Structures are given as structure tokens and as C-alpha cells.
Amino acid sequence: MLDLIPGGNVSLPGGVLAIRVPGPFDLSVLITGDDGKVSGDGDFVFYNQPSAPGAHLRDDTVTVDAGRLRAGASRITVVVSAADPAVPLGRLPAPMLSVTGSAGRGVARFTPPRPTSQESVLLLAEIYRRGGGWKLRALGQGYADGLAGLARDFGIEVAEDSPAEGGFTALVNAERSRSGGPPVTSDARLAAAARAHCTGMAAEGRLGAGGSGFSGVSGVSLYQRVTAQGYAYLTVAEHLVSGPRTEADFLAYCLTDTRMARTVRDPALSEVGVAHAPAPDGDIFWTAVWARPLTPHGLASMASDVVALTNAERTAARLRPLAGDPRLTTAAQAHSDEMVGQGFYSHTSPDGRQPWDRAAAAGCTHRGIGENIACGQRSAAEVVRGWMDSPGHRANILKPDFTHIGIGFRGGGEAGTYWTQLFGMSG
């Protein structure tokens, strides 16, 4: 088997080739002509669309039969990205590509330099027609704009705000102005997350925010796509729609629904990203992501709201209000961060630690500890109301012996928001 360096090439044997990239990566290929552009969305083979004429993806291997490629195909670009979108590609080991012929004989192997922290996609190699045969060239070229951006650059129609259609943000701000609300601004990171998500929905032909059971084998939620773009949010909302043909039609549809219209006009949401993508059957899938960015002041204010609402419930029950405790806050925030970062939802950490263990690690000396957690709620009022509607959580909020409280919040993960309410009992 020949070991290649970047720019190196080798002639390929006839028949079916197996291209494998093991490890924590998603493998995909783009089939193009001499102009470097795809002929349509079907030329992008990835986890949500694993087959095209002459190419089939299964797990960590794509098989290529050049004789069965669609007419005009002359190049196949092999691409990898991180299987977990929350993990930067630069934190993973360098991927190793191997090519095997139809007889099981190794043809070539290529390990590129390790990606940088800015690169989210790596163009590993290209298979290209040369005369009457085919050759493989090692690339190792990093790409910072994600799979959706890469697909767009290869000619796949994954669109966002279009000046020709007036721009979604301008249309939204006209509506917000009519209702007396502040304007929103367009954010490129939210738009990139929206592009990736609507592409996945279009490929599957169904709407959904993601997570377990959605987006094929990836199980990636929209919220994970947002945080993978480097956007930390305090508040998030989304519109997922299929059918409209323009930004104006999409917004008009959203305004016919009471809940979606409330989001369009919500003064707490200050930034937006929008995209649409065509499905194989001609339908159009839309994703709009609305958010308010996370700031230290915003986080402290929201935590203060949770404490105030919790104490209002205690006051109504003739109980003493709880005092804020920075050590409980540190432990609560660490747990919310950990639930998002490690992808779990439980009082027990993956290493077996319990609420009292985390409190002690933060320096708490309370003789008793209690914890409420929640996920998916979009505001302080919503999360406190949810806890009060649950007997076990309500019992913690209204426990007479508790004297102190700390609040943690983190956006991301499968559910979008993760809350921790940690109670302490003075000794």
C-alpha cells in the first residue's frame, strides 16, 4: 500500500473501490464534473443521503464504482467532519484514509496534518478522471464553513437571506417596527446552523428540531448545531416549516400561527439566522433560529429571576425566602455545563458524583443539599412553573429547612436548555 503526502497521487485499479476513514468522523463525498460543481443535490453523499449512482456510504466506508457514476461525473471529493458537532475537528486525531481495490488489495493510504481549531471540515482526497483511467490525489485541505457551506460552494442550493427577495431580516424588522419592538440583526453563526439543519430536514423529508431519532444516524439537534458554530445563547427559539417559496412567504406563514408570531415579535430575541433547502421531491424546507446571546450580565439576571420566582412561591406558602450562595451557584452552573458538554440529563454525573458531592467540591458546608434540574424550558418563568407543577421538585422549592440557593443554566445539547437549581441547608 502506497503512503501519500499532500499533493501526491496514484493511479487506481478498475472495479469497485472502498474508501475508509475510521474513528470519530462523519465521511461524505461530493460528485462533480470538470467545472467542480455538482449537477444537483443528489451528488452529495453523506449520512442523511447515503447513496448516489456509483457511490454508497455505510458507516465509515464509501464504495465507489466509477463505471456507474452519473453521466458527466469526472471527480469525487472525499470529505470528513467530526461525528460529534460539539467537538472541534482540531481536538480529534488526524483522520487516516485508506483505499482498497475490488480484490481486497490495499491501494493507498493518506494521513493529513492535524486540522486547526478553525477548521470544521477536511477535504481529504479527490478521485479524478485522467484519460481513460482514474487517479487519487491526496489533499488534506481544511475548510472552516462546515458541511453546509462546503456543499453550497460545490453548487448545492442551500440558501439564506436573499437581497433580491428583500432579505428576511429586513422583512422581520418591518413587522417588529409595526408592533413597537426593537430590530433584530442577522448572525452568520445562526445562519450556518440553520443551513445545516434545513439541509438535514430536506434530505429526510420531515420537520424536527433534532436529537435522538432525528437526522439519520447523527442524532444532532438544532441547538447542538448552534453551539457548534460557537454561538452561546441565553434564549433560543426556532421556526421549522416546509412549503413556502420565498422569505416573504415564509414570514407570512409564521405570522399566521400565534406561537410563531409571538417569537417574531419577541423583544427578548435580538439575533436571527435563516436558511432554506430543497428536498428531492421539490418541497422547500426552512429553518429560522432566533436567539439572544449569552452574556455574564444576562446570565446573572436570569438566575436572579429564577431565585425571585422561587422565593415568591415560598412567600405564598409562608416560608422564609432563600438567600443566594455563590458556592451553590458555582456547583449548579458546573452541573448545567456538564449536562450539555457530556450529553446527559441526570442528577448523577457520568463519573458517579451526586449533588452533594458537587456542592462539597465547590466549597459548600451546608448540612443538607437538594437539587432540581430541568431541560427545554425557554425562560425563568417557564422553568419555575414546571418545577412547581411537579410534586418532587415542588417539595424542594417549598422545603422549610432550606435556607440558600444557587442557579445554573446552559444552552445547547439535545433539549436546547439545561437548568440546575441547587438548595442548601444551614448547619
Quick one: pLDDT at residue 86?
A: 60
- As a dihedral over the C-alpha atoms of residue 88, residue 143, residue 165, residue 171, rounded to 10 degrees, the angle is 20
Residue 328 has pLDDT above 70, yes or no: yes
Environment class of 417 (CB within 10 Å of its CB; exposed 0-12, middle 13-18, buried 19+): buried
Quick one: pLDDT at residue 369?
A: 96
Quick one: pLDDT at residue 212?
A: 43
Mean predicted lDDT score pLDDT of the chain: 88
The band of 163, judged by pLDDT with boundaries at 50, 70 and 90, is very low
pLDDT tens-digit profile of 344-395?
999 999 999 999 999 999 999 999 999 999 999 999 999 999 999 999 999 9
Cα–Cα distances in angstroms (integers) from residue 317 to residues 355, 389, 397, in the given order: 26, 15, 10
- What CA–CA distance (Å, rounded) separates 55 from 345? 38
- What CA–CA distance (Å, rounded) separates 173 from 184? 6
| H-run or E-run covering 191 | helix 188-204
Mean pLDDT across 6-25 = 90
Quick one: pLDDT at residue 402?
A: 97
Quick one: pLDDT at residue 1?
A: 78
The pTM of the full predicted model, rounded to 2 decimals, is 0.60
**Rg of the chain on CA atoms, in Å:** 25
Cell (9 digits) for 259? 406561537
Residue 400 has pLDDT above 60, yes or no: yes
